[in-house]
Structure formats: C-alpha cells, structure tokens
C-alpha cells in the first residue's frame, strides 16, 4: 500500500502506519511529528512506515522528502536498505527536514542515515548510530547541512559524513572529520546515554548554545516540544537543553531571610 504525506492524519501517525509500505512526501506537503519505524522496498526517493518489518528490498529504507516538502520533528529509526548495492537506509531528502532524530538505520552500500540532495536542507537534526556497508554511514550531503550533530556512525569509508558536489554546504555542525564552513566543531557531542538511545545533550556538551539562530526558530519547537534557542543561541541537534532549575538558590534565599531564629 502506498500513501502520501498529504493523506496522513495525526491518528495515522500515532498508530505508526503499520499497514503502509510507502510514505512519500510529495510537493508540496508537510509531515509533522512523524515517529516510529520507517521502511520501504525498492524506491530510491519514496519511503514507507512499517514497524512490523523494519527492512527494505531496495534503495530507500525510511523517509523520502520531495523538493518543496517538509518533515518536522521526526524519529526515523531501525530501517534498512538491504538489497545488493542499495542506498539511503534512513532518509532521502530533496526537500527540508528539521528537528529530527535519525538513528540505527543501515544501508547495504551508501548513506546509512541521511542523504541530502542538491536541493535538500537538513537543520537541527541528530544523526547517530547508523551504518553503511560501503561509505557514508551517517550523512552524505550535496545540499545544506546546518546545526546538526553527526556522530558515532560506521562505514568502511567516511563513517560519519562526507560532502559531494560543489553545492554542498555544512555550517554549525558537530561531526568528524571537521567539515569546511562556519561554526563547525569535532568535539564529542556528549549525549546523555547513546548506548540506551538517549541523544539529549549532557550539561557539559559542546553543542549547547553553539548553533546559529534562524528566523524560523522564533515559533518552532525541538523534538521534545520545547522552544528553540533557550539561553541565547540554539543548540546543535534535535534537542534543546533546558536550564537547570533554580531550587538550590531558592533554598539558600529561604534559609537566609525567610526563617525566624528560635
């Protein structure tokens, strides 16, 4: 069964679309808050959601985003493009993807996590723990990669990330090796617990407040539904770190002036 993003209701998304074998964001649609396991057979730019199978017969294991379409706050995980020479295990993007977590996907050959095409844009995404049998375990990009974290993926060649073509741009992104472009870093992102699938940022993460602010963030949310750009500058990746509660300060103030001596 094939289904287009424009035909998907919030109820469908909550139920994980277990009967849908292709999910293709075709111009112009927006797919909000898509979560679960995505997989699809033999469709390089199509995609599907099928939590029961979690595998793909050909290229295009997870989510396909056409030029002019948008995917927001998605979790794309446990997908595979398994046929010989198959590519794009997680996401194939010629449109726009934001505030999304792409993890534990694999491709037989190229681009286990995310492929960003020449017209594609990936912003504030976390791509980790993906793999490819040939190259580009995390991300292969020919478009724009910005405010992202691309770390801890695997492949024989370029395990995390590699640009292709003259249009490739990477900015304010945490990955290895260092990419050319403004604001890029190579430090370990300091996930809370990658082994247990917790890709929130620890309190000492170098990715906190090191992204670049963009106009769309004024009304946008992170993957948890929290506001973007808490603390002045946006965090890299799909999650925004919340400030520590001020309970200790309140307690000290209380002890200093709110209690009478006995």
CA neighbor of 95 nearest in space, from 71, 79, 77, 75: 71
61-75, 87-101, 166-180, range with the lowest pLDDT: 61-75
Give the pTM: 0.79
Taking the domains of the chain in order of start, what are their residue ranges?
A: 2-257
Tokens found for residue 46: 């199509």
Question: Which whole number is the average pLDDT over 54-81?
Answer: 77
Tokens found for residue 6: 């424009």
d(CA 256, CA 240): 34
| Number of Cβ within a 10 Å radius of residue 229 | 17
40-54, 110-124, 206-220, range with the lowest pLDDT: 40-54
pLDDT over 90 percentage in the chain: 55
CB–CB of 64/46 below 8 Å? yes
Three-class DSSP labels, the chain: CEEEHHHCCHHHHHCCCCCECEEEECCCCEEECCCCECCCCCCCCCCCECCCCCCCCCCCCCEEECCCCEEECCEEECCEECCCCCCCCCEEECCEEECCEEECCEECCECCCEEECCCCEEECCEEECCEECCECCCEEECCEEECCEEECCECCECCCEEECCCCCEEECCEECCCCCCCCCECCCCCEEEHHHCEEEECCCCCCCCCCCCCHHHHHCECCCCCECCCCCCCCCCCCCCCCCCCHHHHHHHHHHHCCCCC
Q: CA gyration radius for the chain?
A: 19
CA neighbor of 56 nearest in space, from 13, 95, 92: 92
pLDDT over 70 percentage in the chain: 70
d(CA 244, CA 107): 39
pLDDT at 195: 94
CB–CB of 77/106 below 8 Å? no
Question: Which whole number is the average pLDDT over 8-31?
Answer: 42
pLDDT at 246: 55
Tokens found for residue 66: 């056409």
Task: Quick: pLDDT tens for 135-172.
Answer: 999 999 999 999 999 999 999 999 999 999 999 999 99
Predicted confidence (pLDDT) at residue 44 exceeds the cutoff of 50: no
Tokens found for residue 78: 């446990």
- Grade residue 10 by pLDDT with cuts at 50, 70 and 90: very low
Predicted confidence (pLDDT) at residue 247 exceeds the cutoff of 90: no
Predicted confidence (pLDDT) at residue 31 exceeds the cutoff of 60: no
Residue 51 CB burial class (10 angstroms; 0-12, 13-18, ≥19): middle
CB–CB of 155/134 below 8 Å? yes
pLDDT at 30: 58
């Amino acid at each position: 069964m094939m289904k287009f993003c424009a035909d998907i209701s919030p109820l469908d998304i909550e139920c994980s679309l277990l009967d849908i074998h292709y999910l293709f964001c075709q111009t112009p649609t927006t797919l909000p808050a898509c979560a679960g396991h995505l997989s699809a057979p033999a469709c390089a730019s199509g995609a599907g959601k099928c939590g029961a199978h979690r595998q793909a017969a050909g290229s295009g294991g997870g989510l396909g985003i056409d030029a002019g379409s948008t995917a927001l706050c998605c979790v794309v995980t446990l997908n595979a493009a398994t046929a010989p020479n198959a590519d794009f295990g997680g996401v194939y993007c010629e449109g726009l993807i934001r505030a999304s977590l792409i993890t534990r996907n694999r491709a037989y050959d190229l681009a286990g996590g995310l492929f960003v095409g020449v017209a594609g844009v990936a912003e504030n995404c976390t791509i980790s723990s993906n793999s490819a049998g040939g190259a580009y375990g995390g991300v292969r990009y020919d478009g724009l990669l910005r405010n992202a974290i691309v770390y801890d993926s695997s492949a024989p060649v370029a395990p995390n990330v590699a640009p292709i073509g003259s249009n490739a741009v990477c900015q304010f992104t945490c990955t290895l090796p260092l990419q050319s472009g403004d604001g890029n870093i190579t430090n370990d992102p300091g996930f809370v617990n990658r082994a247990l699938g917790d890709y929130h940022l620890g309190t000492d993460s170098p990715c906190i407040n090191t992204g670049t602010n963009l106009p769309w963030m004024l009304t946008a949310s992170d993957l948890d539904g929290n506001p973007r750009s808490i603390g002045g500058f946006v965090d890299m990746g799909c999650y925004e770190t919340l400030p520590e509660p001020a309970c200790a300060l309140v307690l000290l103030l209380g002890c200093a002036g709110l209690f009478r001596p006995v």
